[in-house]
Amino acid sequence: MVCTTCGAEIEIAPAPVVEMSAILERDTGFRLTGRHYRFEGTCKSCR
């Protein structure tokens, strides 16, 4: 996750992302060959 104010970055656990990818493959019939996610927001210090 990236703070849009100060640029701080925090890594998230991969398990939810892997689970979401499996659901997308199942529901759409796509075979995913890569993943790139970027969650943005405001960190605790900048709020």
- Global pTM exceeds 0.85: no
Tens of pLDDT, residues 4-46? 999 999 998 888 888 999 999 999 999 999 888 889 999 999 9
Distance of CA 28 to the CA centre of its chain: 19
Q: Which amino acid is at 1?
A: M
DSSP-assigned states of every residue in 28-39: H-----------
Contact indicator for 44, 5 with CB cutoff of 8 Å: no
Helix, strand, or coil (residue 6): coil
> What are the residues facing 41 on neighbouring strands?
3
* Cα distance between residue 20 and residue 7, in whole Å: 26
